[in-house]
Structure formats: C-alpha cells, structure tokens
Structure 1
C-alpha cells in the first residue's frame, strides 16, 4: 500500500515502531517474528535526515527518523524487495536499490557518504554497507539458513521443501522407511516442526512430515537448525518456516511444465542378499513424472488489496516389482494436486489482514498382479489398491486443507499486536479390492524346509489402515510486542489442538502363520496331537480410536541492547501438554514445562562485518497422538492355534481344530485401559538442552566465512516398558498380593528412571500406587536399565560468496557425532514406525550394548551449492553433497532371551555386538547440475525459460540403509543380514519450460 506520510524528522505515530531507531546503535538490531524482517544502519550526516523505504512490489512506504548519532531502524517489515533512501530537505541524496529483507533477519543498509541535497546517488545491492563489506546479520542468536524463491529456482533441487532443507548444515535425510523427511542435529525425524505463514502444519498423528504447498508459491524458506527463540516450541530437532508469496501492484501470471521421463532414468539397482541370491528385481522400477504449474498475482485494489494464487498438478506413472517374499508387480498412477491462495488486505496504514488457503491432496491407484521370478513375467490379476493422502510406507501422510487468518496491528510506535488462527482437515483412505475373492487375510509360511510355501491372495501382506481415518488441527497465536528504552519486549500465547482418528487391522481382518508343530514358548496349553507335523496360528490385530493432544504455551522474551555492540536475548517458554485417549479421558498431563532461552551477539567492529554469538536453550516435545491409538485406547490383539487338514484357495487353512485357548497379547483384549494405568504419574516431558557458540566474518565485498560449535543433550525421553517383573519385585518387597492383578502390557515412563505407577491389584479397579525405583527394574539376572543417553556435537565451517550479479556459492563442512543408547522417538535400526512407543526400553535386557553411534550419525558431511549467470541468457547451477555412511549393527539373539523378543538384541553369535561396532555403510556422494536458458528473442523481460537438470550425475547408487538384524528367531545367521534396504536415488533428468507474463 502506498502510504501518505509527511516526510519530516517528526515521526508519525502510525509509522510502525520507528521510535526503536532512537535507542539502537549502528549494527545493533533485533530479530523479528516469523513473518517479517528489519532494515537498520547509520547515516553519516544525520542532521535533518529521514530514511525512506518503499516496497518495490506493493508500493508500501515507511519513513524512519534518524537519531543524533545517525542511527535508524525500520522493524516488522514484510519480507520482500525494498528501495531505501536518505532524504534531507525533501530531496533524495542517496539510495540503495533492491534491498532484500529476509525472513526473521536484519540487513544493515548504512550510508557512509550521504551527499548534499540535489546530488543523489544510487547504489545497487542490499548486502553493501558504508564500508563496502557484506553485512553480517548481527541481530540473530539462532542458527538458520534462509533460501529465497530466486535461489530455489536457480539451484538443482527436487521441487519440495525437504530437498531445500537438506542444504542446511547438520541436516541429513531420514530413514527411507519414514518417507521424504529429514533429521536435524542427530534428532529423530519426527521431532521437527513445520510452519506455513506462521501456522504449524506438522503431521498431527506421528510428527513425520507436513502439509505441503506449490513449490513456486514459496517466497522464502527458513530452516532453523538450532538456537531458535521462545516463540518456537514443540521441537527437539529443527524448524522449517515457509512464508508464501503475496500479490503486488502489477498483475502477473505464469505457467510451467516439468517432465521427468523414465527413458532418461537410470535403472535402480536390484537387491541381492550377501550370498548372491536375488531378493528383489528393480531394473524396471521406473516412473514418468509430469508436473503442470501456474500462478496469478496482482492487485484487487491497488495499494490496498492483493491476491496471489498458485497450483501444481503432478501425475506419476510407475511400475514396481516387489521382493521374492511376496512376488507382485504393481502398475501405479499417482495424482497430486497442490494449491495456495493468499489475500492481503491493508485495511489502513496500521491494520493488516492476511488470509491463506492451502490444499494438498494425493490420490494413488494401483493395479496389482502376481509376478513370476523364474520367468520374469507378470501373472494373474490380484486386485486394486486405492490410496488417498496415505503413504503406504510411512503411514498416513499429512496433506489435506489448511486455512489461516492473520491480523497485524501497529497500535502505536512502540506497540504491535499479531493474532493468528488456523485449522486443517485431512482425510486418509485406503480401499482394497480383491479379484475373485471377498477376503484375503495375511498369510505367512514359517515352516522349515518347505520348497513351495503357501502364498495368499493378499495385496499388502501386513497391516492396513482402518476406515474413517482423518486428522484435524486448530490453533491460535497472540503476540504483543512493546519497546521501552533499550528493551524490546514480546509476550504471547501459542495453542494448538491435534485430533486424529486412526487405527490399523491385519489385511483381510486377521493373519495366518503356518508353523512346525511343537512346543510353543509360554503356551503350555498348546499340545498338538501325536504325529501332527504342522499347525496354523491365527492372529487378530485391531486398533482404532479418535484421540487428541492439546498443546498450550506462553512465552515472553526481552531483546536487550546492552551497548552499541552487545545484544542479549532472554526468553522463557512455558508449555503444557495434555493427551486424551479414544474415550476422551486424559492419560498424560504435563504442566509448567519451562524452557529458558538465552543468547548474546557481539558486533565486534560495530559495522556488521564480524559477529560472535552464543546461545543456550531448552526445548520440549509432546507425546505424539499415535501413542494413544494402541497404548491408551481400546485395542484387540490375540493368538489362537489350530490343526488343519487342507488349504483353501485364498491360502487359509481348512478343517480346523482349535488347540488350547485364545491368548490376548500385551493385555489388549478390546477394553479401554484405565487412563490412570497408562503412564507413570507426573511423567516428565520429552526435552533437550542445546548450546551453540559461533562467529560470522566478512572477508571483503564478496566473501564471508564462519564457524559454529553445537552441543545437544537429550535430558528426558518418553517411551514404554513392557515388563511385569518390576511390579512383581515391588509387590514381594511390600507384601502386596498381585495374583489377580490386571497389569497392562506396557506403561509409558521416562527411560532410565523410576516412577510411580497405578496398578489394578484385584482386576476390579482397585488402584494401588507402585513407587518403583530404578533398582526395581533390575532383572533377577542383575541386568539394569542404563541411563538415557543421546548426545550430539558438531563443528560447522562455511565459506560463502555473495551474489554479485554473476555468481553465488556456498560450501559447508560439518564434523559431527550423534551417539547414545536411544535415537529418540523413532527406532531407525529396524524402521519401526511407532513414535514414543518403540521396541527400545521394553525391558532392561534389550538395552544391553545399545550405546554407540546412532542411526542419524554422519561424521563428515560436505555440502556445496551455487549458480553462475554466465550470460544474460544462460544460467548454470550445481549442488554437491558428500557424507559418511550410516553406522552398521548386528542385531540378534540373546542366549537367555528372558523376555522372548527373539532377534532384537545388540548381540550376535552369542556375544555382545555393541551399537555401531560393525563399521559403516560406504560414503555417499551426489552431484546435481542444472541449466536455464532465457532467450532474449522472447522479449526484453525474458519471460520464457527452458530448464534442464540432472540429478546424481555420476549415477552412484550406494546403499543408504541395510538390514541390521543378523540372526533369525529360531537361531542361526540370517540370509538377509546386511541386505540393502535403500540405495541412493538413481540418476534422472528433469526438463522444464516456464513462461511468466504481465496481464
């Protein structure tokens, strides 16, 4: 909006917080909220000077006064391009054009030689200060990487948010079994938070993934890898904050098309066992992807009301041959539609309103056939599998619809109010239709020495999503900023409620497992008749509930300008978490989770060319919703054994005679457990402490470098233990009769600590507190739980060449170690998708020898990326990533196996095999290249662009994950040990064309 402002040294009250400029020294500027930035600096001749700022896209203008020392500051500026000028006597005397205000950061625009009125100068380049050195952002104490839309377009990146996040130091790809997610600073991939325009869009059920948006709609993407302030919470990994584009005063539009043809794809490596046996043929597992994009942007009312709308439609046709364990060939068509629309209304100079709508929908249709490995041919049709907003590998994907409203009010020069409300809805559907059979249960043939195993007619051979699955969120934020003296105070509330309806059942409703007849451990009632060779076990597994997590937080922070060169940040966040089960009952409540945040920056020379900074903070994380689905709500899990006389056409046994009784596993008998018996009383929240020390230094007008040391320590975790022996030990010591007690299969607790648990001692609801000490968890054989340990330290070094109208480049090297006995919420060792209720900590025995390098540890990582504008028509980009391989393990049998977990211990061959003791997977390296051609013959503005990119130029396909289980449950080495699970993505090409035009 074009403001009508009296351009005089006298400041209007409606000018946003300009009085702050009077209290700040040159180079001393305070970081802003997650949707704006600041411009600050010094004017050499302050008398009678006014700094004038104009947004080059929307026409929004601001006049900022200059104090007697020549200092000025313009805060809470919407991100974008600005022209910044010094004016005296109503005339412009010096100008900086194309100043880029970045998300949450500050930029020094100083005027060292402001000329006399009537002799204006124009100096290009936002990052230039009065001493002709690139400005370092001395306003921030956090660790962040900010990528603009221009950079995202010029670099060879997959067109998604995660690919951009992986450019940041300390960020590595998560386990492939969790989908396209990243790990930050050694944390598990479910510990991140994702925001779009200030609203959290993280997966409501598991924390894995997020609702996405059209890639071209991203204006700036901010990647926090540590040290973020009190306004951010619910993350012990990292934060990705996306601000979308907005409309301006010129109507613009664009269309694009990107194709990734299968004919230019390198064939993926087939998977072999270490003995040379083929496990999965993947030579034809390719796809053709076609994406169509478009946007429109402009003023509905000039200087007042603006619209930006964008959409992506992506169609992918692929085929896949599964492993020899369940040989199938799948022909798949995936259709993904993403849209975003944003309306910005400058109601008045002091009142702004933003409305954002986002849609992210994915539909997948699969046709599944049998596959003959002997002949390499497709067989008979099995059925269809239709998915909606669902990732068959990583579970329910986020997606859905998101709507956000935000109000900004500049009440006085010193008082600003921000209010935000958002909600989202996502429906998840999986529809299986079998060919010629109404029901196809999961069939597993575990009989030894069988040459022709029994094969069922199932499509999935595992668990499938139950009916009615959906996620909903709603939340609001209210922030108040006030400046007084040398202090910039900010306080706010940040509340969000996550609701999920979810659950899983075995495909076909139940599972049959064929076994050799014989003794069944823990089941003396299973006695097959003499001469019986085989038996069949029937298992039914069914979960499903509508659960909720209520997250509330209050925060306060003070950004204190201690001196001209020193700024201190003092923040405190207070979080409350409440988890509710399927019956609407609270099973965990955590109050007063205090998270202090402290930081300091030193502008060494006072000119924003050399910054030293440090910070320390505590970060909390709530128990994810998925825990309540099975652990706190009604679920059914039982086992029955039968003899049989035949095999039906769908693989089911016929002529059944039951052996023994039905056995409920883990106490899951279809009843909702008493919420007081689910978790330890007063359970501590999941939290981590972090410390960072670093510096940034400008070398000259083009180059800067820096270093940063980070240390993270997980102080408290939440998982479940599934061991009744501690209760038996306590009861014996206290003389309590628990012969009729109803003890849940598992309890939530803080690993490595004791706790007080409510126990139904008579099976009738009579609850007695059992105050278990750490010694109560010690087994009869003397095995104790270790203390929780997850530590991460890193040294990051970087060298950056700032864009000088020709080229930009950055190199990051990170030396890091992530080690301990717990990855966190996930267990990537086996790809377990049960955040906060993993196999770890179920009993002391399983935690033996677990200390070592964790799955997300990559000791050495080198990242280099940049682009070169060779001519006005030709641009070239490159992205190189080199990293150490993942630690290898050998998970096998414990000689005693007191808890009957089979091959689940860090032991192999009857001997300890400590975590990470089996070496590492090989280094990975990948080079991506791209080029863009914008012909001059298409017009002066070069609206037409042809692009080409090649990913993984050398075609390196080294393994990035392997099977770590080295032994089979019945004893002996596993043929699948060290079999690759995933390789680097094969080389592929992407071709595109884009046309941008004015309307």
Structure 2
C-alpha cells in the first residue's frame, strides 16, 4: 500500500494545528500557490491546467511561462489541487487553506511513457511560504475539537502558542501588556476600548481558524505593541453541514483543592448542573454562489446557570441563601456571496446577551452583600457585524475592502442594586454593605468601528514583488455616567454597638455614627453626568513589499504611518499624535527548496492610548464625588451632615489642572528577531526563534504642585507625558515543532524560554504609575529629608508576566474502533512561577508628601525578587465518533482538565506591614487565601451530539 497520500493528508492537518507558519496579510482568507515542473529536469511547464476544488466550488487557472500558478482570497477549509498537462502524468494533493497563510505546492510531473496512461498521483508540498516574515501559530477548528482545550475560548486556544503568557489583566504576547494585543474576529476589532481585553462572545462551534501572530508582522497591522489574535468563523459550503452539541457541567463531578469547598470544606452542590446547547448549520442557498451559516448557543434549562451562595455577615442575621442566575444567549448569521470566481462579498452578524441577576459586587470590592437588596443585577449586550468585499481585478491585482462594528454595553435598564431609594451603607470594620447594592440602571457603552481598503499588486522586476498599499481607520467611543448605586448615595459607619457573639441586628439604631469624624463616618454623594461621550480615532496608511529576489533570497520591506486623536466629552481634541514605523526582514532559503529557512527581522510597532487613559480628564465614567462629615442626628436625613464637603473629586473642577505635553509620542515597541525553520513534507516541521524587544514612550500621568494654587482643591496638577525613566524589555528563545510519528499518532507544541524585566507594569488602562504620583521630587533620593526614592516607589526587576520557562505540548492518537473513530488528545502545560514583590501596599506617606495621599506601595527589595512555585498539569480528552445515517455521525467527548488531579499551590498571601520603618510579614503570609491560590483541580466537561 502506498502510504504517501495518507501521510500528506495527515500532514496538512498537522500544519493546521501548529505549524510555524510564515503568514500572509491578515485578512480572513488564505492562498494556494506553486509551480508545475518536469520531474528530473525541473523545467517549468507553461500552460498546465490547475484545478482547485474547494467547498464553495472549483477554480481553474493556467500556469505562466515560469510554470507558476496562484489562487488568492480563498476561504479557509479543505481543498484539493490537481495539475495536468499534455504528455504528462497528472498530480493532485489534498490540503487545507489556513487563514492568513500561503500554502506553497510544487507539482513535479512525469512524462507519459509508451506503455503508460495518464493517472493521478500525489504531489509533494513545501508547506512554507518563504517570502513572508511573519511568525506565529494557526489553529483550525478540526484540531481544536480534538484537544482538551478548556471551554474552547479564543484566549485559551491562543494560549497554546509560543510566547503567549498572561499578566494581571489578561493575555500577553512576547512580554507586552495585555492591553497591547490586537483582537480581530472576522475583521472586526473586538477589544474592549477601555481595558483592551477580548470581548466577543462566540459560539465555539462557529470557529474556523484562530491565528496568533507574535513577530515579524507586516506594516498593514497596527494598534498594538504585543501581537495579533486573528479569529475567523465558519463559512457556508456547497454541502449542508452542521453540529448539534450538548455540553454538561456539574460541580459535583469535579475534584476540589483544599479551599475549593470553602474554608470549612462544607460547601455542597445540589442540582447545580448546567447544559450548554450549541447549534450550527451551514450550507448553500445557491450552489457555487450564495452560502449561509447560522448558529445559536445558550445555557439550559431555560438558559440559566445558577450557583448557590449565601450573603455576608451571618452573625447579624445575614447568611441568607441566594442564587446567582446568568442567562447567556448567542446568535450568529453569516452570508457569503461568490459573485463569480473573482469577486466575493460577505456579511457576518453576532449578538450575545449575558444577564446576571444577584451579583455580589460587595465581595469583589472587599466586603460582601448582606441581603438580597444589596445584590446587583447586570445586563450585558455584546455584538459585532462585518461587511467586506474581496476581488481579483486582474490576474495581478487584488482589492479588498472591509468595515466592522462592535457594540458592547455593560449594564443598563434593570441593572444595579435592588434597594430602591435607600442609600448604600458600608461598615468600615468589615467592608460589608447594607440596604442597597452597587451601580445604577444606566449602561456603559463601548463601541468600536474599523474599516480598511487595500490593493495588492503582483509585479516583476529585480525579482518578484507582492506590493500592498492600504489605509485603515479605527474609532472607539465611550459613553458612561457610571452611577455608583441606584441613589448615588453612600453612608459609611464605624461598626455596631452590640457584641456580634451576643446576637443583635443590622438595624440602623445599632450602627455606630461618630460625630465630626471624617475618617469613620461620612456621607458620600456621587454626581454622574449622563449623555457625555469621548472618542479615540486612528487613521493609518501603509505600504508593504514581499520581494522575492531569487530562489534563495527574499525581503519584506514595510512602512506604516499612524495618526492618533482623542476627543473629550466637550468635543475638544486633547491628543493628536503621529508616528511612522518601519518593518524590515531578510529571509534566506538555504537550498532554494523551502526546506531550511533563516530569517532576520527588525520592526517597530506603535500601540494606542486606550479610552481608560484618555477619559481621565473627562466626566465620562468619572462621576464627581462630594464627601460630608456627620454632625449628629438621623443619618438618613441630609441635614445630619455638613453643608460644605470636606473632600471633592470633580472632573469638571480639575480640567484646568490637567495638561498634555505637546511633545507627547505614541507608545512604541522595537523588536529584533532571528529564526531558523525546517519543513519536512514527510514528517513534520520545527522552528527556533530568538526575539528581543524594547518598549519606549510610555504614557503616564505626572502629578505636581501648582505654583499659584487657586484654592485648596486645586493644589494638585496632573500632566500626561512620556516618562523616559520607565522601561520594559523582553527576550525569548522559542522552540516550536509538529510531527506525524505514525498514521495514528502525532505530537507537537512549543517551549518558550524568556525574561521580562523593567520598572513598569502599567498597561494604559488609566495612567497610574506610582513613581510619578508624588510630585517632581519623587524618585530623587536626597531631594528632601522625606523624599521617596525610586527603589521605594518603582524599583527595577522582573515584571509580573515574566515566565522563565513555559511549555505547551499537545498529542493526538486516532484509531478506528468498530465502525467509529476513537481520539485520545492530551495537553501538557508547564509554567514557571510568577514573580512577586516584598512590598507593603499601605505604607504611610511622609508628612511632607501628605498632600498627594496618605498611603503608597513601598518596596523593600528589587521588583519581582521572589517567586511563586512552578506549576504543571496534564489535560486529557477521550472522544468517540460513529456514523449513524448518511453523513450524520454521533459523537461524544470527555475532557478532563488536570485529569491526574495534581493539586498545586500557585500563589499565596503576601500581606505585610511597615513596623518601625521595616517590612514585617503578616500572620498569614505564605498561606493560601482562597481556592484561586491553587491551580484548578480535576474538572470534568462532557459533551455529546450529532454532526453532519
């Protein structure tokens, strides 16, 4: 039996799972290209007929004088390529188009002998586009489903790629902050413009490809200093297909770490199971022309997930049982219109409604809800749509145009605390809240629009060129009043008059209200502004040339110009920044056959200043705060508090004390990388890459004293500027591989060795770097007897996302069992422990700096001088699929996350205090606080359904 066809078919699946692909422009399509030559002589065969069979129909082309052919703008998915020529034995190959990738396929054809007839054989595949400098990893749906990826979310899929880690806020790529990752879904920018995180809520069975780009990224990409996560959803085909999946979760099936069932280990789970329904159907409306995909995802029964909890402060009559109910409803529709083989129009729409009822915000903010009235509701709406055109204008010219709109609204009608017109009261002793909950019924809107148009020309002259020019446009907005409670009124009190051990109640008569004590008893009135909006806009133009000089040398030459503007709630442009960044690479194919490739690249990348920072001087999301001291009497009466506030934080008042440096520059990153890649069409691929990055132009707030203060409230002045004393550097060595061992078994993965150092953790979610918050003398030792040094405020060292060793190894064993197929999939994950600091977050500020605040975080050792333990885990999938009728097959999957149940502590309590000017660990230092201080114990995820 000839195993070559089977090996190559399996190899294309390998490529889809984890090849070190050199990716083309980040559209939502891929390409197939190659040459047809005579076996032995390598003479090009001009006029050969090449037929590409796709799921949307056939495409045909004729090779040119050099025997070359190309199929561009292909929808990701399986394809068959067949080459024929008069007098030669034809050849065909099964492959898969990957998003953003060009598969290079060479067809050596043998002449037909006197005794031979034309037959079809299997050609070879080089699988690497040696003209493109991008590095990263692409994951395809069929491979995602064969691995035990927890919940199959985009972030969890992307975390399998080399160089990907996490900081306190989310996913990071090659040492950048989580706010500097570009997230695209079907071309729409789906990041949160305030925090930078991934916000699209997807039906996991709608996914087609998830592409992670980490380095050597062309000039057409902008708005990031980390990397790109580009996700494409499924498209319809000429054959009806789909999936009906039911996924069952039940906490009673899982194992639990020492604190997973509460501090006493008494938490039980009764009827807490949930069933997630995923439905996706795709097919033709008009064969070869018009295609559709529809999807629906929900939780059941009645789209509801419940968790049995109790309210806080049980000694005062709390401990009341309640349910956190969450509805999760997701809808998708996608249309593809193949006008003809050269022109395509597509439209995609996704809408998700996730509503939470009974959320304990008090717990997240340090205390806890004490009654049902103090629980908050939060309705959330997420949606996006895209509209695009892709066309081949001539044999050498491609045009693409795209528009995306993402809508995100957090909260809204029906949201907020449930205490009616009552003020929210907070106990200073415990942090528990009474009488009402947090936030109101106004929503927080964070939409994004983005559009692009590009023209790609294939040119010849001093080699071959893929010259691409384009423009893109991005605009984010933020509209939020940010009501702090339904009444926008808080009253803080100083504990209770009765001994909790002796009983008592939470009645107002038992609460302690100290007269004329603004540190223990006060009224806080919030004044939100409704209808205000801010906008950030980026306009960019770029040119990028993929230049193939000859069989051995290729170059990428790109240049990008970005202009960033921000408009505040008054319509004033308060940021206007322009930067130009180059992208350069040289690629050397050692033998000219695509087997061994070396690469050297240099690139600069300009990030963006998020809405979380540009909103700092506006009223959007920043309600004014007025605090009044208690004078005596009924605390529910306004007359019981002072008429004049003792503290005012009002954005409208400090607009005059806020300034922007006219020489401000956009945050940027510079990267130099060198790599070696090897592709063997018979066995697998591997790559080794070294990368070094340096960030500069960090945008931060600098707090100072005004020379001539108007009044006491205007003593502080804030300037937004680049602080060149802040720094962040990263270097890594990444090994990536994928190999088909036998017909049944393949394995692969990555190992990343890295170092992330600096003195800046901030991620542009607000400009809050401590080093600049204590006046112009901060960080200058000896400036005054009470001056704080740089070592105290912002020492150098290892940053929180530093991971010296990170390994993600995957494996699959697929065998035929009876009439069906059994798949065993595994993921081994090893992660070095995160660094932590010897610090005290509540160290007292010296008297001379008290105007800037009362406490600060003081460091007593270099940053990241201590480490949490290394962790590792093994996840396992057992899946079986059996045909039931025609194309329909029944499948079941059992995913066991951390299936050996190896319970490891990954973090612990680092609480400390300052005693006599020295650092002193707290009583619980080094101990686990909650179940989150351990890696997840064994978690069971079971799904079953029908696919066709």
Q: Is the Cα contact below 8 Å between 2:312 and 2:369 reproduced in 1? A: no
Aligned equivalents of 2:387, 2:362: Cα separation in 1: 50
Q: 1:577 to 1:922 in 2, by over 3 A?
A: same
Q: Are 2:586 and 1:600 aligned?
A: yes
Q: Is the Cα contact below 8 Å between 1:256 and 1:992 reproduced in 2? A: yes
Aligned equivalents of 1:613, 1:458: Cα separation in 2: 64
Q: Are 2:919 and 1:967 aligned?
A: no
Q: Is the Cα contact below 8 Å between 1:280 and 1:323 reproduced in 2? A: no
Structure 1 unmatched ranges of 5 or more: 1-27, 372-376, 390-398, 447-452, 517-527, 729-736, 754-786, 827-833
Q: Helix, strand or coil for the counterpart of 1:236?
A: coil
Q: How many residues align?
A: 859
Aligned pair partner of 1:620 in 579, 603, 606: 606
- Within 5 Å, which residues of 2 pair with 1:311-326? 311-314=296-299, 315=303, 316-320=305-309
Q: Are 2:686 and 1:690 aligned?
A: no
Q: Are 2:232 and 1:301 aligned?
A: no
Q: What is residue 797 of structure 2 aligned with on the other side?
A: 852
How large is the Cα RMSD of the aligned pairs? 3.7
Q: Is the Cα contact below 8 Å between 1:825 and 1:837 reproduced in 2? A: no
Q: 1:989 to 1:224 in 2, by over 3 A?
A: same
Aligned equivalents of 1:623, 1:370: Cα separation in 2: 30
Q: What is residue 663 of structure 1 aligned with on the other side?
A: 647
Q: Is the Cα contact below 8 Å between 2:339 and 2:345 reproduced in 1? A: yes
Aligned pair partner of 1:443 in 426, 430, 443: 426
- The alpha-carbon deviation at position 530 of structure 1 amounts to 11
Aligned pair partner of 1:896 in 846, 864, 884: 846
Q: Are 2:896 and 1:950 aligned?
A: yes
Q: Are 2:51 and 1:53 aligned?
A: yes
Q: Is the Cα contact below 8 Å between 2:214 and 2:228 reproduced in 1? A: yes
- The alpha-carbon deviation at position 702 of structure 1 amounts to 1.2
Q: What is residue 814 of structure 2 aligned with on the other side?
A: 869
Q: 1:905 to 1:424 in 2, by over 3 A?
A: closer
Aligned equivalents of 1:285, 1:190: Cα separation in 2: 39
Q: Are 2:224 and 1:235 aligned?
A: yes
Q: Helix, strand or coil for the counterpart of 1:673?
A: helix
Q: What is residue 857 of structure 2 aligned with on the other side?
A: 905
Q: 1:547 to 1:368 in 2, by over 3 A?
A: closer
Aligned pair partner of 1:931 in 869, 878, 883: 878
Q: Helix, strand or coil for the counterpart of 2:143?
A: helix
Q: 1:974 to 1:630 in 2, by over 3 A?
A: farther
- The alpha-carbon deviation at position 300 of structure 1 amounts to 0.9
Q: Is the Cα contact below 8 Å between 1:417 and 1:478 reproduced in 2? A: yes
TM-score (norm 1): 0.79
Q: Is the Cα contact below 8 Å between 1:440 and 1:456 reproduced in 2? A: no
Structure 2 unmatched ranges of 5 or more: 1-20, 39-43, 496-512, 779-787
Q: Is the Cα contact below 8 Å between 2:35 and 2:63 reproduced in 1? A: no
Aligned pair partner of 2:718 in 747, 759, 772: 747
Q: What is residue 17 of structure 2 aligned with on the other side?
A: none
Q: What is residue 771 of structure 1 aligned with on the other side?
A: none
- The alpha-carbon deviation at position 292 of structure 1 amounts to 0.5
Q: What is residue 995 of structure 1 aligned with on the other side?
A: 946
Q: Helix, strand or coil for the counterpart of 1:34?
A: coil
Q: Helix, strand or coil for the counterpart of 1:190?
A: helix
- Within 5 Å, which residues of 2 pair with 1:254-269? 254-267=243-256, 269=258
Q: Helix, strand or coil for the counterpart of 2:202?
A: coil
Aligned pair partner of 1:144 in 128, 136, 141: 136
Q: Is the Cα contact below 8 Å between 2:875 and 2:895 reproduced in 1? A: yes
Aligned pair partner of 2:828 in 877, 880, 885: 880
1:913-966 per-position Cα deviation (integer Å, ceiling 9, x unaligned): 22112x111112121111111125x24646111111111213345444555552
Q: 1:426 to 1:859 in 2, by over 3 A?
A: same
Aligned equivalents of 1:106, 1:941: Cα separation in 2: 30
Q: 1:574 to 1:59 in 2, by over 3 A?
A: same
Aligned equivalents of 1:209, 1:587: Cα separation in 2: 27
- The alpha-carbon deviation at position 722 of structure 1 amounts to 2.4
Q: What is residue 500 of structure 2 aligned with on the other side?
A: none
- The alpha-carbon deviation at position 65 of structure 1 amounts to 0.7
Q: What is residue 862 of structure 2 aligned with on the other side?
A: 914
Aligned equivalents of 1:497, 1:616: Cα separation in 2: 28
- The alpha-carbon deviation at position 288 of structure 1 amounts to 3.3
- The alpha-carbon deviation at position 359 of structure 1 amounts to 1.5
Aligned equivalents of 1:809, 1:378: Cα separation in 2: 49
Aligned equivalents of 1:29, 1:856: Cα separation in 2: 26
Q: Helix, strand or coil for the counterpart of 1:934?
A: strand
Aligned equivalents of 1:224, 1:654: Cα separation in 2: 57
Q: Is the Cα contact below 8 Å between 1:719 and 1:749 reproduced in 2? A: yes
Q: Helix, strand or coil for the counterpart of 2:136?
A: strand
Q: 1:209 to 1:285 in 2, by over 3 A?
A: farther
Q: Are 2:550 and 1:563 aligned?
A: yes
The farther-off stretch of 71-80 and 403-412 is: 71-80
Q: 1:231 to 1:836 in 2, by over 3 A?
A: farther
Aligned equivalents of 2:839, 2:45: Cα separation in 1: 74
Q: What is residue 500 of structure 1 aligned with on the other side?
A: 478
Q: What is residue 385 of structure 1 aligned with on the other side?
A: 376
1:583-606 per-position Cα deviation (integer Å, ceiling 9, x unaligned): 221111112x11111112222122
1:444-480 per-position Cα deviation (integer Å, ceiling 9, x unaligned): 415xxxxxx68541565xx636713212222321101
Aligned equivalents of 1:960, 1:67: Cα separation in 2: 61
Q: Is the Cα contact below 8 Å between 2:419 and 2:436 reproduced in 1? A: no
- The alpha-carbon deviation at position 37 of structure 1 amounts to 2.2
Q: 1:567 to 1:48 in 2, by over 3 A?
A: closer
The farther-off stretch of 219-228 and 949-958 is: 949-958
1:217-247 per-position Cα deviation (integer Å, ceiling 9, x unaligned): 1111111122211111101122111112111
Q: 1:475 to 1:41 in 2, by over 3 A?
A: closer
Q: What is residue 831 of structure 1 aligned with on the other side?
A: none
Aligned equivalents of 2:362, 2:70: Cα separation in 1: 68
Q: 1:56 to 1:688 in 2, by over 3 A?
A: same
Aligned equivalents of 2:309, 2:217: Cα separation in 1: 42
Q: Is the Cα contact below 8 Å between 1:38 and 1:75 reproduced in 2? A: yes
Q: Are 2:160 and 1:167 aligned?
A: yes
Aligned equivalents of 2:808, 2:517: Cα separation in 1: 62
- Within 5 Å, which residues of 2 pair with 1:287-366? 288-314=273-299, 315=303, 316-320=305-309, 330-366=322-358
- Within 5 Å, which residues of 2 pair with 1:496-535? 496-507=474-485, 508-514=487-493, 535=520
Aligned equivalents of 2:127, 2:205: Cα separation in 1: 28
Q: Helix, strand or coil for the counterpart of 2:108?
A: coil
Aligned equivalents of 1:862, 1:286: Cα separation in 2: 38
Q: Are 2:573 and 1:586 aligned?
A: yes
Q: Is the Cα contact below 8 Å between 1:644 and 1:653 reproduced in 2? A: no
- The alpha-carbon deviation at position 663 of structure 1 amounts to 2.6
Q: 1:379 to 1:921 in 2, by over 3 A?
A: same
Q: Helix, strand or coil for the counterpart of 1:684?
A: coil
Q: 1:139 to 1:945 in 2, by over 3 A?
A: farther
Aligned equivalents of 1:122, 1:191: Cα separation in 2: 49
Aligned equivalents of 1:654, 1:42: Cα separation in 2: 83
- Within 5 Å, which residues of 2 pair with 1:467-478? 467-478=442-453
Aligned equivalents of 1:285, 1:886: Cα separation in 2: 36
Aligned equivalents of 1:435, 1:47: Cα separation in 2: 76
Q: Helix, strand or coil for the counterpart of 1:259?
A: strand
- The alpha-carbon deviation at position 385 of structure 1 amounts to 2.5
Aligned equivalents of 1:260, 1:715: Cα separation in 2: 46
Aligned equivalents of 2:202, 2:565: Cα separation in 1: 30
Q: 1:367 to 1:612 in 2, by over 3 A?
A: closer
Q: Is the Cα contact below 8 Å between 2:47 and 2:62 reproduced in 1? A: no
- The alpha-carbon deviation at position 499 of structure 1 amounts to 1.4
Q: What is residue 210 of structure 1 aligned with on the other side?
A: 199
Q: Is the Cα contact below 8 Å between 2:246 and 2:944 reproduced in 1? A: yes
Aligned pair partner of 1:244 in 223, 230, 233: 233
- The alpha-carbon deviation at position 552 of structure 1 amounts to 1.0
- The alpha-carbon deviation at position 529 of structure 1 amounts to 11
1:631-677 per-position Cα deviation (integer Å, ceiling 9, x unaligned): 333755445453455786xxx79994539753324xx2644725x94
